[in-house]
Amino acid sequence: MSNLNAPNSPFVPFSPNPSIQSGVPTATPPLSASKPAQLGSSNLRYASSRKSIYDRHLNRTQRSELSKASFAFLFGEMIQYAQKQVSGIQDLEKKLNIQGYAIGQRLLELLLYREGRSAKRETRVLGILQFIAQTLYRHLFGKPADGLEKSREHEDEYMLIDHDPVVNSHISVPKEMSQLNCAAFVAGIIEAVLDGSLFPCRVTAHSVFSEQFPSKTVFLIKFEESVLEREAVLQ
């Protein structure tokens, strides 16, 4: 990764430090800790009989299930907690985005690890979007995203469509807050996966009502200039 910063390189330099990289929510801590994890010098206690988390296989919980209700109640509390701290809908969505962002960072690593030898490093926009629409979505929600579209008006915009986001299934937004879409949480997950794959962007969730799909959500993905430049070079 280190030679990517060569001046003539078409690749975007990526720093885990959020203050250097634009487009990253500044409240998100970088994934790598400031000091490397040295178990020898760590002061953590471990249970005498039980092994630590490093002894458990990462794939152990891959197909485990919990009740959707558990997620719904936790997500509901997340929303209520965030609501107390902010005053506007946009700020609320931003808070949810940030909480999703932390998850996306971890999921990206986890999903790529699980793909093992067949993991492919995506360098094209369509490739990474398919990864999100298929692999990521299937893992989190048990179904692929319902559609992927490229904007006709704006070169840097793509849309990921979900007819009935799992995260919104129990939520009814009050009429006075009709602009709010709590899937901003999922937008954060998507944004983190894209940022982490070197496709810096901004992702927002928008409600699009239709008779057939009253809960339809469109995730608007707006890529930064550098992504388009690289895409053009790779064409």
Partner 1 sequence: MSSTKAARIGEEVWKTRIDKVNAELVTLTYGSIVAQLCKDFEGDYMEVNKQLDKMGYNIGLRLIEDFLAKTNTGRCANFRETAETISKIGFKVFLNITPTVTNWTSDNKQFSLIFDENPLADFVELPDDGRAQNELWYSNILCGVLRGALEMVQMQVDAHFASDVLRGNDTTEMRVTLIRMIDDELPPGDD
Partner 2 sequence: MVILSILILNKAGGLIYQRHFNEGLNKLSSNDYLVLAGTFHGVHAITSRISPVPGSGGLEVLESDQFRVQCFQTLTGTKLLIFAEPHQPNIDVICRRVYELYADYVMKNPFYQIEMPIRCEQFDRQLVAYIKPKQ
18 Rama sector, left if φ>0, alpha if ψ -120 to 50, beta otherwise = alpha
- One-letter amino acid for residue 1 of the chain: M
47 binds partner 2 (CB under 8 A): no
Binding site for partner 1 (CB under 8 A): 27, 29, 42-50, 52-53, 56, 58, 61-62, 64-71, 73-78, 80-81, 85, 98-100, 102-103, 106-107, 110, 139-142, 166
Binders of partner 2: how many residues, by CB under 8 A? 17
Between 77 and 155, CB nearer to partner 2 = 77
Given a contact cutoff of 8 angstroms between Cβ atoms, the answer to whether 30 and 218 are in contact is no
Record the tokens describing residue 19, joined without a space: 């203050």
Question: Scanning the structure block, which residue is given the tokens 């006709």?
Answer: 152
> Minimum distance from CB of 78 to partner 2 (Å)?
8
Angle between helical axes of 184-196 and 89-115 (0-180°, round to 10): 50
Between 124 and 170, CB nearer to partner 2 = 170
Per CB under 8 A, contacts with partner 2 among 151-170 are: 170
Between 22 and 52, CB nearer to partner 1 = 52
Given a contact cutoff of 8 angstroms between Cβ atoms, the answer to whether 81 and 95 are in contact is no
> Minimum distance from CB of 174 to partner 2 (Å)?
5
> Minimum distance from CB of 163 to partner 1 (Å)?
17
- One-letter amino acid for residue 212 of the chain: Q
Calpha distance 165→183 (Å, rounded):
7
Which span (86-94, 174-182, 190-198, 223-231) binds partner 2, by CB under 8 A? 174-182
208 binds partner 2 (CB under 8 A): no
214 binds partner 2 (CB under 8 A): yes
Do you know the residue count of the chain? 235
CA-based angle 138:121:153, to the nearest 5? 75
Between 181 and 197, CB nearer to partner 2 = 181
Calpha distance 97→57 (Å, rounded):
29
Given a contact cutoff of 8 angstroms between Cβ atoms, the answer to whether 139 and 111 are in contact is yes
Q: Residue ranges of the alpha helices (H) in 116-214?
A: 125-130, 137-141, 184-196
Residue 79 contacts which entry, partner 1, partner 2, none (Cβ below 5-8 A, type-dependent)? partner 2
Per CB under 8 A, contacts with partner 2 among 75-134 are: 75-77, 79-80, 83
66 binds partner 2 (CB under 8 A): no
> Minimum distance from CB of 98 to partner 2 (Å)?
17
Q: Catalog residues that contact partner 2 under the rule CB under 8 A.
A: 69, 72-73, 75-77, 79-80, 83, 170-175, 177, 214
